Structure 1
Amino acid sequence: MPNLTRRALLISTPFVLSGCVSAGRETVSVKPVIPAEYTAMYSAVEGEPFPVKAADLRRVDPQFYRREVDYPTSEPTGTIVVDTAARYLYLVGENGRALRYGIGVGKAGLEFEGEGVVQYKREWPRWTPTQAMIAREPERYGPLAGGMEPGVLNPLGPRALYLFKNGVDTLYRIHGTTEDWTIGKAVSSGCIRLLNQDIIDLYRRVPPRTRVVVLQGPSTVPPATA
């Protein structure tokens, strides 16, 4: 994994949050000011077989933007740590640092805990609903039992990492999303979703066989600081 350095990664920047200020008798609504670094980080992605639009950062809490943070952990460099309670995914770097991504956690993302490996990864993957999903909502998912082709409507987005344990598919996926507003939230479907720009970034940093640690319930990892 490429070394995580302050020069290579964008770090925390102060934000002007939305709110209202009083100007005499008139109340003026102040829109959030998003730093140019993040506007560029989450701009439309060129050179893809399908469009990847700019993320709507107005709908994402700034704490879930990608950044490098202090992260004291005993996990070795290159490990992915998914903290479902905190809604963060960490890529452990060197010298007590990590690259932190905001995530949305779907129902399937709460059904695995412990260690696994990225068995393989795919660009613009196909998606197939599980048998449980088909049984639960046959009218919705039954027609997709044979799989859904890649594209802008595919719920896995432009990239996906597939988690196995002891050679067995856990059905746990780390993937993209077109629903920017779900980052930082619990959602009804899917596993672990990142903004599309973030899953593309993570995908290029981690090779197959990357170790993944999934934490459920109250976080057991010391809180990270920017």
Structure 2
Amino acid sequence: MPTVCTLSRRAFFLGAAATLAGCATTETSVRNAPVPQKVSYPIVPASDEELAARYAAVEDGGHLIPAIPYREIDPKYYRQRVKDPTGETPGTVVVDTPGRFLYVVEPGGTAMRYGVGIGREGFAWEGEGIIHWRQPWPRWKVPADMIARTPSLARYSVENGGMEPGIKNPLGARALYIFQNGKDTLYRLHGSPEWKSIGKATSSGCVRLINQDVLDLYKRVPYHARIVVHQGAMASV
């Protein structure tokens, strides 16, 4: 049974404005990602050497993403393969807001799990949709209502073309756009240079990942993938 969006009227308008503030970008054409293959993957804890390589500095699209001091992050938020707790079909993206996790469901009963930062109270969205757009190195275009609160951001307004893509851009290395019933929810999955925000509720409504993790996510999530966002506890499977 489809999940129903449960935003209150107040939360919708606050959340929409805040999400626009945190996640507005310029859209480009969609690039299809590979559909998950029908294979089973072993669940093997990563060694320290593997983690160092996973979160090492990486060059992408002409930008150098700095290494992440992963030892300063709770290990449960490392990117890792786990037993699928969602019960969803392979290829589905699931956001467990209370747990601060994002899952990409795989064939064979496993899922790739990522630690995420989420929207603070009053700025969150819940529901089911599809990943309709996918964009590498998006621009950050700050809407007028956010500029009214923080005038110093005026140089990144829509009229001024927004903030150039790059390491300091709040949207990070990739952005994935969620649509519901053919309409933009204004809700995004995106990278972030603020790795310390992972596991916390500090964003303006979107789901943020470590840049190295959003690069991996982008490769795994196919165009028009189904996404389910839970604000409450997920049912056990």
CA positional deviation for 1:110: 4.2
Tell me how far apart the structure 1 counterparts of residues 108 and 122 of structure 2 sit (CA, whole Å): 29
Judge conservation of contact 1:73–1:96 (CA < 8 Å) in 2.
no
Of 180, 183, 189, which residue of structure 2 is paired with 1:168? 183
Tell me how far apart the structure 2 counterparts of residues 211 and 161 of structure 1 sit (CA, whole Å): 12
- The alignment-based identity, stated in percent, is 47
Per chain length, whose mean CA-contact separation is higher, i.e. which structure has more relative contact order (CA < 8 Å, sep 6+)? 2
Which TM-score applies when normalising by structure 2?
0.76
| Secondary structure class of the residue paired with 2:236 | coil
Matched, 1:222 2:236: yes
Structure 1 residues 195, 11: CA separation in 2 closer, same or farther (over 3 Å shift)? farther
Match of 2:75 in 1: 62
Match of 1:148 in 2: 163
Tell me how far apart the structure 2 counterparts of residues 114 and 36 of structure 1 sit (CA, whole Å): 38
Tell me how far apart the structure 1 counterparts of residues 45 and 115 of structure 2 sit (CA, whole Å): 13
Tell me how far apart the structure 2 counterparts of residues 71 and 81 of structure 1 sit (CA, whole Å): 10
Judge conservation of contact 2:119–2:201 (CA < 8 Å) in 1.
yes
List per-residue Cα deviations over 1:66-119 (Å, max 9, x = no partner). Answer: 111011433111000001110000001112210000001134994311101111
Matched, 1:12 2:25: no
| Secondary structure class of the residue paired with 1:51 | strand
CA positional deviation for 1:175: 0.6
Matched, 1:205 2:220: yes
Tell me how far apart the structure 2 counterparts of residues 172 and 201 of structure 1 sit (CA, whole Å): 20
Matched, 1:2 2:59: no
Tell me how far apart the structure 2 counterparts of residues 65 and 144 of structure 1 sit (CA, whole Å): 32
Judge conservation of contact 1:160–1:176 (CA < 8 Å) in 2.
yes
| Secondary structure class of the residue paired with 1:150 | coil
Matched, 1:40 2:53: yes
Match of 2:131 in 1: 118
Structure 1 residues 109, 156: CA separation in 2 closer, same or farther (over 3 Å shift)? farther
Aligned residues: 199
CA positional deviation for 1:58: 2.7
CA positional deviation for 1:138: 3.6
Tell me how far apart the structure 2 counterparts of residues 157 and 109 of structure 1 sit (CA, whole Å): 23
| Secondary structure class of the residue paired with 2:193 | coil
CA positional deviation for 1:168: 1.1
Of 144, 154, 157, which residue of structure 1 is paired with 2:172? 157
CA positional deviation for 1:149: 1.4
Judge conservation of contact 2:86–2:234 (CA < 8 Å) in 1.
no
Judge conservation of contact 2:174–2:215 (CA < 8 Å) in 1.
yes
Match of 2:193 in 1: 178
Judge conservation of contact 1:69–1:100 (CA < 8 Å) in 2.
yes
Structure 1 segments (4+ residues) deviating >4 Å? none
RMSD: 2.2
Gaps of 5+ in 1: 14-33
| Secondary structure class of the residue paired with 2:199 | coil
Judge conservation of contact 2:117–2:203 (CA < 8 Å) in 1.
no
Judge conservation of contact 1:107–1:191 (CA < 8 Å) in 2.
no
Of 69, 75, 87, which residue of structure 1 is paired with 2:100? 87
Gaps of 5+ in 2: 1-34
Judge conservation of contact 1:106–1:192 (CA < 8 Å) in 2.
yes
